[in-house]
Structure 1
């Protein structure tokens, strides 16, 4: 047989190591590129023209653009990301408070007390009271 066969053990361990290293660095590069692009759009201090210039620089000359961006503006990237995360958490908390109700502890108890008072005054029938109570509790 004159055909060459390539087997798995023909690939040296050091070659596999370098392949894994290059894949890791490539993934790290892509993540860094997207973080820089997200940071450009997240920064409210930059004008529209400055954002366009940074984006163009990062897309046209990616390695140099990202390197220059991280050197020039990298110090505040973490601060901007932390501020963005806090704003998202506050918005989520506000949404939860709005969805749940008044946001005050015992708000459901107050509503049940009002329903009970309406029932005792005769403004609600037993069936209406039960329906409203189930709606509050579920």
Structure 2
């Protein structure tokens, strides 16, 4: 029984000490996880940059105050085309921007993203790319 207990403890310690330095972060150190079909729920301020991979689509997005828009790009990180790639931004005031027009994205290619936030008053935001 003791070896099993030691194995469980060792597994828990290894999990707790896992290296998270390779996870995408916002400028203030917030981690944006790849959640598959789930939205991460991470909230960002207007000064943060969102950078995360979801279903092979790497979304990098920031709020450009001078343009009053979210700008960035989506890159296909896989070696296969991604079908119907689109982006949504959720504002703290309850408004959803997007989704962008769905586009097929060939392997390794990048497409620009711009979602206008004209007339929207908000403090925080979240975003995600959708594929399929």
Normalised TM-score (structure 2):
0.27
Q: Which has the higher helix share?
A: 1
Structure showing greater relative contact order (alpha-carbon pairs closer than 8 Å, 6 or more residues apart): 2
